[in-house]
């Protein structure tokens, strides 16, 4: 007997080598592909798992054969009064015990290797999926809910690998059936036919089951993800829910999905509930058939009582193992769905291609240039143009303020520099090199980017500033970290934390205020001494005075020819720190020049720049009017109401 | 740990209970109380299960009868008797299978109904908890309490639970039949399994510890993955993908190790069951034959014993796995029940509740102090009275306690000393439904749902806007509010106007745009007291001025408390409150405070120099 069963994978090799992770072809072919890929990735583990499982299969048949032999040679003659047979009773017990010991060993080994296999394949999937998360562009991330991406790496991986739990067992059962068939055929053909006739029925039952199960499982899995999405979103919105008192509404939203999940689970359950007793029933009916045929064959004198007992016993032993096929087939639909969901991540298009051109720091600042930049992004309703025909040039060491109304595309524009997104047309260049061609490590080292909303890692203050592992020789030293914290005016806050630089910051930096988080993010950029600093409204939650300190601190560096700064800001004080201003509206550059130039010639800019001032003046006028009105009517409330 | 000696009594510990500490049976009892559906129709289900289990001994009986009365019949082999025996047994098996299917369906229905109740109750309780309690646990872990923890229980009830039920009954029926055949051999078989029953629970404890380690590693791994997902922008901009991947890889490897360790022990436990089960065969062969020789047993009965032991050992082997699943389910149950056990520390008023009707709202801080749990005081001795209809600007440095004041007014938490009063009534005595109607908070980073602009603004209609689709009136109200706030020009420039999708957490919009949506939503929510906590910090100046003016118009007769860095807000307010290091240091009109030449005057002149 071959130690390893033939896997039905060979005639047409599954397209594992073809591009992509998705399995193609018919369900049967996809199923085989799923199993084959997993086993091929860990050949040694699966040779051991399937080998020990085959041994288990053979030994199970051996138990029934030994019992049959013992019945004929010991039990029946001994009870009939044979002294010789009575003397062999202990020997019979010993033989059964030895087979039992070997069987238990094979079972243990089978399970250990099966467990290692599943753990390994899961780890493979998780590494692959998370690598892809880190490669895919922001536009992809924004289209995919966090909950979904978490379940891709969590429960979908479990679903995709669930089939590998019973797989070695099932392959061992194949060996068991082959050995049993051979043994039965060598005893008596009629008895063999009686014993084996239930097997095709079991296969048919499994197929029917699988056909019913696939849609039910798919739906339940999808609803489980939906329930998780609703829970995730609702809990993220907990403060809003509380402040509006909309708990009932959220309750209704969640209950609706949870009810649908209940119904889907029951649907899955009903299919299994019917299938289980049937697959249980088949070996038992087989046992009865063996008894019936066996009695006739004994009457015909073809076989002995022991042969009937052995065949009947074998079928009771098969009752559980035959279910292994059911488990494998039952897991396959779930596995394919899980695999498809993982594949959708792994095969997602749009992974930016990493550049290879080294970018060496030659001066403290870098020249930044954008030429003919368009950006279109796909949405549910087709493409949307976010930027159109942007041309810009910032000389090394200069500061450019990007000013425009809310939603004009300022963040999108500055996000092109650290390659959060690549333009659909046109080019973004640093020191004359297309950013897409620059080595990512060089780009990250020399472009500092601070966004509107700060992400804080669950790490220490030091880890959040350096973004390096402890003990990394390339990481900035504590002195540099403190200097950066001081430059971002957040050193006092850190000093007050228990543990200072070692203080752990909770999930998303929950123990810091918004302004403190922004300043921490600023320190994260400053510690790198970037040659291009992109500040996307990065000081909006910082007090005006503190903001001024930080920004003039940047300028102090700048005087000694510091980094090129790209600044999105609303406060005129920040804007005034810039050498030049670019006015952006609706994804287009409206005008560019110094603050004074734009103030003189660009009405849109003038309105933005003088909004507070005009409002103050308007208010002063109103107060004066109101006071005048008070003279007429003392009861009129003060405070501007008229326009 | 201690950072300051000046720490006063902080707010009471408000952390989420990690898990209930009830024992196994107490947990199950509590679970049945929470989800009474679990017990629905249990009596009939049990009766059906008894029939199903009884049918399982038909095969050994058929073997015994066939061998003793058909094959070894005195008058030679009796084929017709064998056929009759087999026919009756087959019929019985079919009835048993039908009962078994019924049992399964009934258990599925009742357990899923019960778990739905558990899931939705836990979900609701999470929302009823105070903000501090909600923030004491990661969102992902909160989510798992209403998703994967419940799924674990569902798995158990559907599979382990059914098997446990069937197995116990099967052992009982098998033992009874064995005792009928031979009490001596029955005792011997039981004696062989007893050591296993003693050892197994101990090994099971080890298994549970290792599975607990798996779950812990798994949670840590999902935490690492969630950083890569939520922090994708930062990771990309700083080129720290390699480091992030290393952190994830380490967590993945730790999960893998823990899994292998757990499964190896399970393999040992399971195979020891296999070993004992098969050794029992050897014992039955030896002892049964001796008993037969002594004349107490027929051949058929010895053989039937071999089959019966098989019925018996299957469940005992399974029992280790089922117990394991049971442990998983119990710990899942404990975690979900832990949610329900976590007390709501910002509690609804009891009998002393006072009605708080709609209308102009006055606000009073009475000697208010606050300290976060285990933290230094962030507010001290705050006394402040705001007349109904006044617009108040709260200004002060970062970390001075401004936001805490707003949170206390919204009753996200209760003051540690003193009281906050709405129309002279302590907030603790106002039913939350009344309070939420009247007090509306707009935070700096308002949450947006993954939907359209209209849907997000309409959320402010609260219960008037059903989740399953908006009525034309609701849409009209949304549009009216957007126009009132002067946001229609902004909306007109969006690709699909009000139907523009905002993306996950509103990420398709800029921070300023998200604030505009949150403002419109709050406006639609129509409270008597509006709390704006840096609500327009990321909006351009023209829009901010326009919104501020619009809000002032709309909030006429209403009270507003605005926290702002941009002092344009303070210039326009009726009353300016200056907070410094947790204390209110100045209160007055803009003009008064500028004239006073102290804190506010200094802040204002700094601001003016920046904006002009």
pLDDT in tens, B120-144: 999 999 999 988 888 877 777 888 8
Contact B310 A312 (CB under 8 A): no
Contact B238 A449 (CB under 8 A): yes
In chain A, residues 515-534 whose CB comes closer than 8 Å to chain B:
515-516, 521, 524, 528
- Give the single-character DSSP code of B419: E
Contact A138 B233 (CB under 8 A): yes
Same-domain check for residues B388 and B428: yes
* B558 found inside a domain: yes
Beta-carbon count within 10 A of B282 CB: 23
3-class DSSP string for A464-527: HHHCCCCCCCCCCCHHHHHHHHHHCCCHHHHHHCCCHHHCECCHHHCCCCHHHHHHHHHHHHHC
Contact B263 A546 (CB under 8 A): no
pLDDT digits (tens, 9 = 90+) for A341-373: 999 999 988 787 888 888 887 777 889 999 999
Q: Which chain A positions have a beta carbon within 8 Å of B556's beta carbon?
A: 641
- Cα atoms in the Cβ-side hemisphere of radius 13 Å centred on B487: 32
Q: What would the DSSP string read from start to end of A202-271?
A: HHHHHHHHHHHHHHHHHHHHHHHHHHHHHHHHHHHTHHHHHHHT-HHHHHHHHHHHHHHHHHHHHHHHHH
pLDDT digits (tens, 9 = 90+) for B577-599: 999 989 999 999 999 999 998 88
Alpha helices in A531-594 (DSSP H): 544-559, 572-576
Residues of chain A with pLDDT under 70: 1-19, 379-381, 506-510, 541, 543-545, 548, 551, 554-561, 630-643
A371 three-class SS: strand
Q: In the prediction, which pLDDT does B406 show?
A: 92
Q: What are phi and psi of B460, to 5 degrees?
A: -65, -15
* B295 found inside a domain: yes
Same-domain check for residues B315 and B283: yes
Shortest distance between the Cα of B437 and any Cα of chain A, in A, equals: 7
For residue B71, the chain A residue with the least C-alpha distance is A295
pLDDT digits (tens, 9 = 90+) for B149-204: 888 888 887 777 777 888 888 888 888 988 988 898 999 988 988 888 788 778 87
Q: How far apart are CA A558 and CA A535, in angstroms?
A: 15
Q: Which residues of A418-436 are buried (b: 16+ CB within 10 A; e: fewer)?
A: bbbbbbeebbbbbbebebb
Q: Of A574, A608, A612, A605, which Cα lies nearest the Cα of A590?
A: A605
Same-domain check for residues B319 and B433: no
Q: Which residues of A480-505 are buried (b: 16+ CB within 10 A; e: fewer)?
A: bbbbbbebbbbbebbeebeebbebeb
* Per-residue tokens: A327: 């488990």
Q: Judge residue A356's burial from the number of C-beta atoms within 10 Å of its C-beta, 0-12 exposed, 13-18 middle, 19 or more buried.
A: exposed
Domains of chain B: total: 2
Same-domain check for residues B293 and B427: no
Q: How far apart are CA A522 and CA B24, in angstroms?
A: 51
Shortest distance between the Cα of B602 and any Cα of chain A, in A, equals: 10
Same-domain check for residues B293 and B437: no
Write the residue in A133, A270, A545 that is nearest to B108 by C-beta: A270
Which is more confidently placed, B558 or B545? B558
Contact A542 B398 (CB under 8 A): yes
Domain boundary among the residues B273, B307, B341 is at B341
Contacts for B242 with CB less than 8 Å, ≥ 6 apart: none
In chain A, residues 101-130 whose CB comes closer than 8 Å to chain B:
101, 103-105, 107-112, 114-116, 118-120, 122-123, 126-127, 130
Contact A134 B544 (CB under 8 A): no
* Per-residue tokens: B259: 């899994």
Contact B271 A131 (CB under 8 A): no
3-class DSSP string for B466-524: CCCCCCHHHHHHHHHHHHHCCCHHHHHHCCCHHHCECCHHHCCCCHHHHHHHHHHHHHH
Q: Which chain A positions have a beta carbon within 8 Å of B1's beta carbon?
A: 498
* B241 found inside a domain: no
Shortest distance between the Cα of B383 and any Cα of chain A, in A, equals: 24
* B213 found inside a domain: yes
Same-domain check for residues B293 and B435: no
Q: What residues make up the domain containing B186?
A: 27-221+255-341
Contact A89 B410 (CB under 8 A): no
pTM: 0.75
Contact A276 B101 (CB under 8 A): yes
Same-domain check for residues B317 and B372: no
A353 three-class SS: coil
* B540 found inside a domain: yes
Write the residue in A76, A127, A608 that is nearest to B542 by C-beta: A608
* Per-residue tokens: A473: 């020789």
Contact A405 B571 (CB under 8 A): no
For residue B52, the chain A residue with the least C-alpha distance is A277
Contact A235 B126 (CB under 8 A): yes
Q: Is B503 on the interface with A (CB under 8 A)?
A: yes
* B232 found inside a domain: no
Contact A455 B286 (CB under 8 A): no
3-class DSSP string for B18-84: CCCCCCHHHHHHHHHHHCHHHHCCHHHHHHHHHHHHHHCCHHHHHHHHHHHHHHCCCCCCCHHHHHH
Q: What would the DSSP string read from start to end of A152-206?
A: HHTHHHHHHHGGGTTHHHHHHHHHHHHHHHHHHHHH-HHHHHHHHTHHHHHHHHH
Mean pLDDT of chain B: 86
Same-domain check for residues B67 and B207: yes
Same-domain check for residues B145 and B262: yes
* B346 found inside a domain: no
Looking up residue B329, the CATH number of its domain turns out to be 1.20.1560.10
Domain boundary among the residues B341, B374, B409 is at B341
Contact B574 A134 (CB under 8 A): no
For residue B97, the chain A residue with the least C-alpha distance is A277
Contacts for B171 with CB less than 8 Å, ≥ 6 apart: B312, B315, B316
Q: In the prediction, which pLDDT does A27 show?
A: 84
* B591 found inside a domain: yes
Domain boundary among the residues B341, B371, B403 is at B341
Same-domain check for residues B34 and B89: yes
Same-domain check for residues B306 and B451: no
Give the pLDDT band (50/70/90) at residue B220.
Answer: confident
Contact A611 B516 (CB under 8 A): no
Q: How far apart are CA B312 and CA B249, in angstroms?
A: 45
Looking up residue B546, the CATH number of its domain turns out to be 3.40.50.300
Give percent of chain B above pLDDT 90.
Answer: 27
Same-domain check for residues B293 and B333: yes
In chain B, residues 378-397 whose CB comes closer than 8 Å to chain A:
391, 397
B354 to B349, B412, B530: CA distances (angstroms) = 8, 19, 21
pLDDT digits (tens, 9 = 90+) for B536-557: 877 777 778 777 777 777 777 7
Shortest distance between the Cα of A570 and any Cα of chain B, in A, equals: 6
A399 to A33, A519, A583, B188: CA distances (angstroms) = 56, 20, 14, 91
Q: How far apart are CA A345 and CA A349, in angstroms?
A: 9
In chain A, residues 290-319 whose CB comes closer than 8 Å to chain B:
291-292, 295-296, 298-299, 305, 308-309, 312-313, 316-317
Q: Is B252 on the interface with A (CB under 8 A)?
A: yes
């Amino acid at each position: 007997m071959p130690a390893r069963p033939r896997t039905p994978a060979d005639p047409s090799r599954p397209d594992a080598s073809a591009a992509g992770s998705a399995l193609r072809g018919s369900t049967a072919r996809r199923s085989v592909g799923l199993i084959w890929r997993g086993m091929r990735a860990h050949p040694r583990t699966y040779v051991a798992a399937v080998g020990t499982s085959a041994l288990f299969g053979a030994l199970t048949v051996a138990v029934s054969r030994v019992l049959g032999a013992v019945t004929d040679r010991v039990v029946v003659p001994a009870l009939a009064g044979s002294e010789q047979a009575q003397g062999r009773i202990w020997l019979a017990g010993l033989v059964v015990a030895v087979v039992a010991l070997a069987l238990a060993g094979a079972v243990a080994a089978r399970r250990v290797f099966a467990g290692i296999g599943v753990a390994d394949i899961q780890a493979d999937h998780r590494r692959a999926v998370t690598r892809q998360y880190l490669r895919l562009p922001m536009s992809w991330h924004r289209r995919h809910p966090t909950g979904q991406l978490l379940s891709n790496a969590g429960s979908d991986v479990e679903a995709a690998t669930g089939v590998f739990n019973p797989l070695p067992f099932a392959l061992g059962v194949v060996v068991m059936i082959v050995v049993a068939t051979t043994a039965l055929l060598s005893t008596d053909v009629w008895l063999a036919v009686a014993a084996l006739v239930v097997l095709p029925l079991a296969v048919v039952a499994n197929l029917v089951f699988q056909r019913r199960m696939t849609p039910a499982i798919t739906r339940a899995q999808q609803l489980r993800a939906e329930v998780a999405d609703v829970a995730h979103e609702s809990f993220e919105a907990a403060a809003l829910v509380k402040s509006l008192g909309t708990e009932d509404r959220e309750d209704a939203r969640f209950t609706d999905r949870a009810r649908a999940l209940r119904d889907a689970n029951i649907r899955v359950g009903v299919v299994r509930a019917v299938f289980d007793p049937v697959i249980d029933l088949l070996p038992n009916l087989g046992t009865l058939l063996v008894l019936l045929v066996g009695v006739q064959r004994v009457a015909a004198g073809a076989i002995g009582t022991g042969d009937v007992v052995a065949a009947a016993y074998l079928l009771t032993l098969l009752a559980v193992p035959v279910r292994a096929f059911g488990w494998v087939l039952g897991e396959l639909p779930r596995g394919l769905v899980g695999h498809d969901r993982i594949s959708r991540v792994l095969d997602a298009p749009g992974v930016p291609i990493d550049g290879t051109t080294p970018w060496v720091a030659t001066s403290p600042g870098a020249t930044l240039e954008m030429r003919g930049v368009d950006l279109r992004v796909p949405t549910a309703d087709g493409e949307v143009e976010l930027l159109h025909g942007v041309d810009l040039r910032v000389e090394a060491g200069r500061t450019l303020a990007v000013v425009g109304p809310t939603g004009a595309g300022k963040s999108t524009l500055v996000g092109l520099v650290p390659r959060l997104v690549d333009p659909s047309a046109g080019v973004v260049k640093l020191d004359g090199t297309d950013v897409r061609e620059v080595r990512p490590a060089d780009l990250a080292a020399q472009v500092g980017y601070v966004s509107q909303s700060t992400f804080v890692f669950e790490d220490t203050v030091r880890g959040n500033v350096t973004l390096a592992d402890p003990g990394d020789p390339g990481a900035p030293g504590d002195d540099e970290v403190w200097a950066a914290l001081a430059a971002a005016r957040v050193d006092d806050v850190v000093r007050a934390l228990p543990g200072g630089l070692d203080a752990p910051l909770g999930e998303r930096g929950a123990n810091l205020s918004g302004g403190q988080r922004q300043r921490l993010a600023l320190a994260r950029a400053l510690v790198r001494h970037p040659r291009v600093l992109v500040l996307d409204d990065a000081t909006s939650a910082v007090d005006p005075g503190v903001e001024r300190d930080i920004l003039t601190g940047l300028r102090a560096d700048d005087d000694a020819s510091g980094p090129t700064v790209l600044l999105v800001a609303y406060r005129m004080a920040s804007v005034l720190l810039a050498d030049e201003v670019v006015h952006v509206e609706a994804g287009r550059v409206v005008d560019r020049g110094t603050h004074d130039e734009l103030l003189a010639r660009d009405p849109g800019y003038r309105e933005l720049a003088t909004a507070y001032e005009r409002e103050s003046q308007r208010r002063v006028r109103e107060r004066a009017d109101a006071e005048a009105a008070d003279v007429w009517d003392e009861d009129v409330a003060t405070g501007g109401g008229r326009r | 740990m201690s950072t300051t000696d000046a720490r006063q009594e902080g707010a009471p510990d408000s952390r989420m209970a990690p898990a209930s500490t009830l024992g196994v049976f107490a947990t199950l009892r509590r679970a049945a109380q929470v989800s009474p559906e679990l017990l629905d129709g249990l009596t009939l289900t049990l009766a059906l299960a008894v029939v199903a289990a009884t049918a399982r001994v038909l095969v050994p009986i058929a073997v015994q009868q066939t061998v003793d009365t058909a094959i070894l019949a005195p008058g030679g082999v009796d084929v017709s008797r064998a056929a009759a025996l087999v026919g009756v047994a087959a019929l019985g098996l079919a009835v048993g299978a039908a009962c078994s299917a019924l049992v399964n369906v009934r258990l599925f229905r009742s357990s899923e109904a019960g778990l739905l109740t558990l899931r939705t109750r836990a979900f609701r309780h999470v929302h009823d908890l105070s903000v501090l309690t909600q923030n004491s646990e990661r969102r992902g872990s909160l989510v798992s309490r209403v998703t994967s923890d419940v799924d674990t229980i569902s798995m158990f009830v559907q599979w382990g639970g059914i098997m446990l039920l069937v197995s116990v009954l099967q052992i009982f029926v098998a033992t009874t039949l064995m005792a009928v055949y031979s009490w001596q051999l029955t005792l011997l078989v039981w004696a062989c399994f007893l050591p296993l029953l003693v050892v197994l629970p101990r090994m099971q404890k080890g298994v549970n510890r290792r599975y607990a380690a798996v779950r812990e590693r798994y949670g840590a791994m999902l935490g690492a993955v969630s950083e890569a997902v939520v922090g994708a922008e930062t990771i990309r901009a700083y080129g720290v993908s390699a480091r992030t991947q290393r952190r994830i890889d380490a967590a993945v490897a730790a999960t893998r190790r823990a899994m292998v360790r757990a499964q190896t022990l399970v393999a040992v436990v399971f195979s020891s069951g296999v070993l004992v089960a098969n050794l029992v065969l050897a014992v039955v062969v030896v002892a049964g034959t001796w008993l037969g020789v002594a004349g107490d047993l027929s051949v058929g009965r010895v053989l039937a014993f071999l089959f019966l032991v098989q019925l018996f050992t299957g469940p005992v082997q399974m029992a280790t796995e089922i117990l394991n699943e049971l442990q998983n389910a119990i710990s899942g149950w404990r975690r979900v029940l832990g949610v329900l056990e976590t007390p709501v520390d910002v509690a609804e008023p009891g009998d002393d509740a006072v009605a708080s009707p709609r209308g102009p709202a006055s606000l009073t801080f009475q000697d208010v102090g606050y300290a976060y749990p285990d933290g230094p005081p962030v507010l001290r001795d705050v006394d402040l009275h705001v007349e109904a209809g006044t617009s108040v600007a709260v200004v002060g440095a970062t970390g001075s306690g401004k936001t805490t004041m707003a949170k206390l007014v919204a009753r996200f938490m209760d003051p540690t000393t003193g009281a906050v009063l709405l129309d002279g009534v302590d907030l603790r005595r106002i039913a939350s439904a009344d309070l939420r109607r009247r007090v509306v908070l707009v935070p700096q980073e308002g949450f947006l749902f993954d939907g359209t602009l209209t849907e997000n603004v309409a959320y402010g209609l609260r219960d008037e806007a059903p989740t399953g689709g908006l009525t034309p009136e609701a849409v009209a109200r949304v549009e009216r509010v957007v126009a009132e706030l002067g946001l229609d020009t902004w909306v007109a420039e969006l690709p699909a106007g009000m139907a523009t999708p905002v993306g996950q957490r509103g990420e398709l919009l800029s921070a300023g745009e998200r604030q505009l949506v949150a403002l419109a939503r709050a406006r639609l929510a129509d409270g008597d007291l509006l709390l704006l906590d840096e609500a327009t910090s990321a909006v351009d100046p023209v829009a901010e001025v326009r919104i501020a003016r619009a809000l002032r118009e709309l909030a006429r007769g209403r009270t507003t408390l605005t926290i702002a860095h941009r002092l344009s807000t303070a210039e326009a307010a009726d009353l300016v409150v200056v907070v410094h290091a947790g204390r209110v240091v100045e209160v007055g009109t803009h003009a008064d405070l500028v004239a006073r030449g102290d804190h506010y005057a200094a802040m204002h002149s700094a601001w003016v120099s920046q904006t002009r």
